[in-house]
Structure formats: structure tokens, C-alpha cells
A and B are shown apart, each in its own frame.
Chain A
Amino acid sequence: MKRYLYYPGCSLRGTGKAYEESLLAVFKALDIELEELEDWNCCGATAYMSIDEVNAFALAGRNLALAEKKKLDLMAPCSACYLVLNKAQHYIKEYPKVAQTLEHGFKAAGLTYTGAVKVRHPLDILINDIGIEQIKARIKKPLAGLKVAPYYGCQIVRPYATFDQMYYPVSMDKLLRAVGAEVVDYPLKTRCCGGSQKGTLPEVGLSLIHILLKEAGRRNAQVVATICPLCQFNLDAFQEEAGKKYGEVSMPVVYFTQLLGLAFGFSAKELGLERNIVPAKRVLAKFEPAVA
């Protein structure tokens, strides 16, 4: 049985609850043991970088230091967390002076970090450690005929493409096909969702969101699958507003783990599908297990 350290990150405890719920369900079904990183702190996300870079690395650094003690790979499902943790590691290696500065911090805080932690994404783990066959074996209700647009967003394969191609990632495509879904060719799969732009320049943020949803529709997708809480939030929560401004769109946006979960026979509730603003029921109902 595989074991990993689990770094939820702030979003999975807030707007991204459904991601955590579905993720835990799916991993349980695959007998993957997750141990939550004790007393983890916010990774600093992208915002902190604009305030203070080295401190941002320090934030990530504390988590890495805590993780290193456990001698397990550290799984970060949120794209921002995944990137920041990776980036911190990268820069600690690349720039001796960053490392030196952090050393002082670590010493003062009674921490040590040698750079041994491997930061992993659920996609990476499912494809490379568990494998398609294992996943197929768990299917109770294949998602036959469900047309999905796989949306990776930016920070998973960029800039550190560790487990998938940078320009046209396919790991999620493979998983979705494995559970019977039909994956549409979606050229915008790594295009930015606008991140926090919605908050700062609504018209810009909304247009980016709209572009993604519209193209998914144009490719006859019935649902967009995401791997990032911020992407999901933007595409789901602001869909109505974007539609009002740039033309009607109606496209449920779910986490890939929710789709896997359905195929594994979990209920919409267990997978947090009810948390969607744009109801996913319309397209997904037929895959839900019959209420016993």
C-alpha cells in the first residue's frame, strides 16, 4: 500500500472543499494512504512573491522542512502550492544565496532542510505510481459517452514540467479515458484562467474565463475537468457573470477527481458535486449510483 504526505493548502479548506472531498474518496478507493502534513502553513501562493520573494521561499521552506522529517513524497493537489513548493526547492538549489539566507531562518526556527523532499501532484501519482490498470480495475460505472474538456491551467506543467509535456500535457486525458470518458481535443488546456485578475480587473478576468468556457463548448464538451481550485472557482463561480458580459455559456466545471469518483461509484454528495455553482447534475446525474 502506497503512502504519501498530504499538503492540502488553504483553498482545499475553503472554496476548494470539493477537491479535497473527491480526492480523499478516490485515493481511499485505490488504497492510497495519505498522512496530512502536520501543522502545515500557507505556501505563500503567487501573491506573496510580489511582496517578498525570499520570505515566500521561507514559507514554502517551512513546509518542506516539516515534510523532510517524514521521509515521504509530499503531495500538493493545488496548482499554486505545487508550483511554489517546487519553485522554492528549485531556487534553493539554483541560488546559493537564497539557500544561505533560508539557513539562518531554519536555524532560528529549529528546522533543517537538505532538499530531499519530492513534491508530487495527484496526477503524477495516479499515472506513474498507481497506473492506469489499477484505476481501470476500480471502475464501477464507466463514464461512457461523457464528453470532457481536460483543463490543466498553467502552473502544473509550467515552468517545471516534471511528469508531463509542457505544451500539450496528456496525463489527465489518460485518466479520464481510462474511466470511459471521451476526451475532446482542447487547444486551450494550458491557457491561463486569469488567476486573481477577476478580483482586480473584472472585465479582463471575465473575458479570460469566457474564452475557456466558450471554446470548451465549441468542442462539444459537456463538462470541463480541472485540477486546480482557483481555475475551478473562476470558471464555476464567475461563469454567470462572464456569460452576461460576453455571451451565454453553460458549462459545468468539476475536478477530475470528482469524475474519477463517479466512475468508482461514489455519490454526488460524497464527491462534493453539490458545491458547484453551475449545477453538474444535468450531465452527470446518469452516472450517479442508484440510491439504495
Chain B
Amino acid sequence: MAVKKMIKYEVERDREFAQWVTGVIGGERIRNCIQCGLCSASCPLAPYMDFTPRRLMHMAREGFKRDVLGSFTIWLCTSCYSCTVECPRKIQVTDIMYALKRRAIEDGAYPKRFPIPVLAGEFAAMIRGKGRVTESWLVVKVFLKASILRLLGMSKLGTQLFLRGRMNMMPDSIRNRKQLQTLLDAVEAHKEVAA
């Protein structure tokens, strides 16, 4: 097996990142963490994570940006909020996970095999365009982008759903798309003011 360097040097710490994470919505209390591991223990996905939520929280507040944003953990989070309601220090773990996802997408730092950013991207685009989401379309588009093979693997289910009228192929839409877009644009414009 390959030998892995298990030492961390201070130069690897990104203090701006550590600062940033305490500033995100829900991140205020990350410094209160006592590393009890309740988040990990209550997380249904933890068994599949490369770093448990507890480790990730500490890595983040210590500023190990590369390891944090490169970790599977943030993409495995299904935002079920177990960690958030359990945390004895009232740390908004789920919100922090969201923030880390956003940061990873911005920095393009997420592990490539994860279609979630793609899904999220398509999702956002569709909402912006139509105001509503037509799941079937979304699924198709995502799988077209991410892995065509998986779509084929699903085709049986697809037909079943279709036959049972659970695959609405007509893309749905709201009437006042203009309003929605103005809203989003205006918010976008003033976001930095708020930040």
C-alpha cells in the first residue's frame, strides 16, 4: 500500500477560511465545539464519510481548507438535521455543511464523482427559468450530464413510474416568471451589501 504523510504543517492552515466559517449563517458557534462526537453518532451517513462531522468541524475551524472542501462528508450530508438538534453546544452543523458545499462549488473543489453540484446547478437553473421543478426532467438532465449509464439502469423504474402517472413529462411553470427573476436578481445585487 502507498505510504501517506500523516503530519500537518501550519502553512497548510488557511486562516481566512477558518475566519470565514465562523461568519457564515449558522457558523457563529463552531468555536464552541467540544468534540464530543454526538453529531457523528447521530448522523445516518457518518459510516460512509471519509471524515466524521466532528472531525470536519474541527478541521474547518482550524483552517484546513483543502481537506475540508475536498472531503466526501459535505456531499453525503442529506440535511436531516439530526446533528443540529443533538449538538450539546447548539452548533448549526447542517447549516455549516451547506456553507461548505457552497464554498466547494464556488472554489470548484468538490470531488468530481459527485453529481450533486450538477444536480443542484440544474435544479437552480430550472427554478430560475420556470419557477417550478419537474422532477422527471431534472432527473433526465442530471443523469445526461453525470452518468448516462445510470439513467439506462433506471429505465425500468422510469417506465413503471411513467405507467403509474408519476412521471409528469410536461415541464411545469409559474405565470409570473418575471417577478421571480426580478426578485432573485435584486437579492443577488444586494447580497454583497449584506455580507
B44 lies within 8 A of chain A by Cβ: yes
Q: Give residues of chain A (7-47) contacting chain B, Cβ–Cβ below 8 Å.
A: 10-11, 13-18, 39-42, 44-47
User: CB distance A47 to B165 under 8 Å?
Assistant: no
Interface size class of A (residues with CB under 8 A): 35 or more
Given A40-B174, A196-B119, A200-B75, does the pair A58, B48 have CB atoms closer than 8 Å? no
Q: B115: which A residues are within 8 A, CB to CB?
A: 199-200
| Cα A191 to Cα B45 with chains together (Å) | 11
Q: Convert B78-101 into 0s and 1s, putting 1 for each residue whose CB lies closer than 8 angstroms to a CB of A.
A: 111110110000000010001101
Q: B48: which A residues are within 8 A, CB to CB?
A: 201, 204
Q: Tell me the smallest distance from the CB of A20 to a CB of chain B, in Å.
A: 12
B59 lies within 8 A of chain A by Cβ: no
Given A51-B121, A58-B183, A194-B78, does the pair A277, B161 have CB atoms closer than 8 Å? yes
Q: Give residues of chain B (176-195) contacting chain A, Cβ–Cβ below 8 Å.
A: 176, 179-180, 182-191, 193-195
User: CB distance A51 to B102 under 8 Å?
Assistant: yes
User: CB distance A50 to B98 under 8 Å?
Assistant: yes
| Cα A194 to Cα B78 with chains together (Å) | 6
| Residue of B with least CB distance to A103 | B190
User: CB distance A50 to B116 under 8 Å?
Assistant: yes
Q: Tell me the smallest distance from the CB of A270 to a CB of chain B, in Å.
A: 14
Contact of A158 among B76, B85, B194 (CB under 8 A): B85
B152 lies within 8 A of chain A by Cβ: no
Given A49-B98, A109-B179, does the pair A197, B76 have CB atoms closer than 8 Å? yes
User: CB distance A159 to B183 under 8 Å?
Assistant: no
User: CB distance B190 to A155 under 8 Å?
Assistant: no
User: CB distance B157 to A101 under 8 Å?
Assistant: no
B175 lies within 8 A of chain A by Cβ: yes
Given A51-B102, A199-B142, does the pair A14, B135 have CB atoms closer than 8 Å? yes
| Cα A47 to Cα B77 with chains together (Å) | 11
Q: A10: which B residues are within 8 A, CB to CB?
A: 132-135, 172
Contact of B187 among A104, A196, A238 (CB under 8 A): A104
B131 lies within 8 A of chain A by Cβ: yes
B38 lies within 8 A of chain A by Cβ: no
B164 lies within 8 A of chain A by Cβ: yes
User: CB distance A105 to B187 under 8 Å?
Assistant: yes
| Residue of A with least CB distance to B177 | A41
Q: Tell me the smallest distance from the CB of A83 to a CB of chain B, in Å.
A: 8
Given A62-B179, A192-B44, A277-B160, does the pair A14, B134 have CB atoms closer than 8 Å? yes
User: CB distance B193 to A15 under 8 Å?
Assistant: no
Given A42-B132, A53-B98, A192-B78, does the pair A17, B182 have CB atoms closer than 8 Å? no
B136 lies within 8 A of chain A by Cβ: yes
| Cα A100 to Cα B23 with chains together (Å) | 17
User: CB distance A14 to B166 under 8 Å?
Assistant: yes
The number of chain B residues with a CB under 8 A from chain A is 65
Which of A90-98, A116-124, A136-144 is near enough to bind chain B?
A90-98
Q: Tell me the smallest distance from the CB of B43 to a CB of chain A, in Å.
A: 9
User: CB distance A14 to B167 under 8 Å?
Assistant: yes
Contact of A55 among B78, B131, B184, B194 (CB under 8 A): B184
B123 lies within 8 A of chain A by Cβ: yes
User: CB distance A44 to B127 under 8 Å?
Assistant: yes
B168 lies within 8 A of chain A by Cβ: yes
| Residue of A with least CB distance to B75 | A200
B144 lies within 8 A of chain A by Cβ: no
User: CB distance B124 to A109 under 8 Å?
Assistant: no
| Cα A61 to Cα B179 with chains together (Å) | 12
Q: A97: which B residues are within 8 A, CB to CB?
A: 194-195
Interface residues of A (CB under 8 A from B): 10-11, 13-18, 39-42, 44-55, 58-59, 61-62, 91, 95, 97-98, 100-102, 104-111, 153-155, 158-159, 166, 191-192, 194-197, 199-202, 204, 208, 237-238, 241, 274-277
Beyond A104-B193, A111-B179: 16 further Cβ-contacts under 8 Å?
A: A11-B135, A15-B135, A15-B167, A41-B131, A47-B119, A47-B120, A50-B98, A51-B120, A51-B123, A55-B188, A105-B182, A105-B186, A192-B45, A199-B142, A275-B164, A277-B161
The 7 A-B residue pairs whose C-beta atoms are closest, nearest first, are A108-B186, A154-B80, A195-B78, A192-B80, A105-B187, A158-B81, A50-B101
12 A-B pairs (CB sep. < 8 Å)? A14-B167, A55-B124, A61-B183, A108-B185, A154-B82, A159-B81, A159-B84, A191-B44, A195-B79, A197-B45, A199-B119, A277-B160
